[in-house]
Structure 1
Amino acid sequence: MRFKNVFSIIGPSMVGPSSSHTAGAVRIGRVARQLLGCRPKEAKMTLYGSFAETYWGHGTDLALTAGLLNYDTDDERIPQADVLAEEAGMTLEWVQGKGNGPHPNSVKINLSNEGRKAEIVAASIGGGTIAVYSMNGFDVQITGEFPTIAVTHSDKQGVLANMTALLSQEGFNIGYMDVDRKGRSGDAMTVFELDSAPGESTIERIHHLPHIKEVTMIDLTKRS
């Protein structure tokens, strides 16, 4: 039940028609965009369950696109997101996935921009709340409710200790941490949900630790 929050009761400030199909979808799109680190040029959305069956009628396509443009859930531009994405030079592909996703409102998003790539699997689980189940092929979960650092690194002794020690030294409280690795001594990803957002200097310090490959900030609490 880790993904339940107050949004499940009252819902977020949003452009309608549906908190699950619109607000949650916007938030999923924003996570994917921020994981990529820039506006995507190509985006492929593979939809599952209710998302696949009703995304045109419920505006899920517009909401996901708005998230890729880094709009907030209450942004008045959401109904025109497809036009604005085209004007921005984005190419969008929509695919109805086969089989079941991890939740009835699920989507896999693949993004690219000049050599940069990102992939997430996520779901809108009610009231604007989302669950991210994997990022860039790693089975790590985040909620998007808190500022989150996603770190790709080598699976080496001391890497986790170095990162947690640095965050502690800089005064950040880790509310949640998740780790996945491809294999012993292979690539790994660690995500940290923090009570407050770190600045660029903290991100840079993490990036310069031994065996760190990439550090990405995901912060849906920051207005776009």
Structure 2
Amino acid sequence: MSFISVFDVMGPNMIGPSSSHTAGAARIALLARKLLTGSLKKVEFTLYGSFAKTYHGHGTDRALLGGIMGFATDDVRIRDSFQIATDNGIEYSFIPNNVETDVHPNTVDILMVNEEGQEMTIRGESLGGGKARLCRINGVEVDFTGEYSSIVVVQKDAPGVVAYITKCLSELGINIAFMRLFRESKGNTAYTIVESDDLVPEDIADTIRRNKNVYNVMVVQM
């Protein structure tokens, strides 16, 4: 049985009204943004379940847009996220999907495009109490909450890559709490997600990128 603290019951510090529909939504988008390199140019949110039904009234749209611009759950700028996004030249749209129902009730797909035209699609779920997880990156099923200091490695599913990542971390004395590999299929694109109890040095990304089978590395520290 998982432990539930008083903070889970009361909810996080946040711009309301709902820990699931605002704080959780902001956290999903904030996690997603940390995975995209470069400056954000365009973002499209596809909403499912209760997100699709109540996103405007509960402020889910403002929270998602605030999170994608890097605002924490308690950042008062979330209230003005529409105007701030417009002022920064970020195109945004919200698309309710009431057809697909076989999803978590608080689910959003986020399509992000940076200034170089590179795209990334993230699916996230708001789990309640301000908690959230990413369950899909570019179509690959993952399980990532961002609750630990994390390294997300986009790589070719090839022998030796995971061992190389582990070696890089070991040489810096980084203790691995969890390490999981998610992949499309054998030999194709894979995602290695490493979570650590310790803060991860940002320059570890440059070290890991030296492997020829590594496509990209993102360090995520909330």
When normalised by structure 2's length, the TM-score is: 0.92
Number of aligned positions between the proteins: 219
Structure 1 residue aligned with 2:105: 104
Structure 1 residue aligned with 2:61: 61
Partner residue of 1:183 out of 179, 182, 185: 185
Structure 1 117/101 Cα, relative in aligned 2: closer, same or farther at 3 Å? farther
Structure 1 101/46 Cα, relative in aligned 2: closer, same or farther at 3 Å? farther
CA shift digits 1:93-119 (9 cap, x unpaired): 111122125311100000001222211
Give the gaps of 5 or more residues in structure 1: none
Q: Superposed, which structure 2 residues align to 1:47-86 within 5 Å? A: 47-86=47-86
Give the gaps of 5 or more residues in structure 2: none
Structure 2 residue aligned with 1:197: 199
Secondary structure, aligned partner of 2:30: helix
Structure 2 residue aligned with 1:171: 173
For the Cα contact (< 8 Å) 2:150–2:200, is it kept in 1?
no
Structure 1 123/95 Cα, relative in aligned 2: closer, same or farther at 3 Å? same
Q: How far has the Cα of 1:23 moved from its partner?
A: 0.8
Q: Aligned partners of 2:30, 2:39: CA distance in 1, in Å?
A: 10
Structure 1 residue aligned with 2:10: 10
Q: How far has the Cα of 1:134 moved from its partner?
A: 1.0
Q: Aligned partners of 1:101, 1:174: CA distance in 2, in Å?
A: 34
Q: Aligned partners of 2:102, 2:147: CA distance in 1, in Å?
A: 22
Deviates more, 1:152-161 or 1:62-71: 152-161
When normalised by structure 1's length, the TM-score is: 0.91
Q: How far has the Cα of 1:14 moved from its partner?
A: 1.0
One-letter code aligned to 1:17: P
One-letter code aligned to 1:20: S
Stretches (4+) displaced over 3 A: 4-7
Structure 1 residue aligned with 2:208: 206
Secondary structure, aligned partner of 2:141: coil
* Identical amino acids, percent of aligned pairs: 39
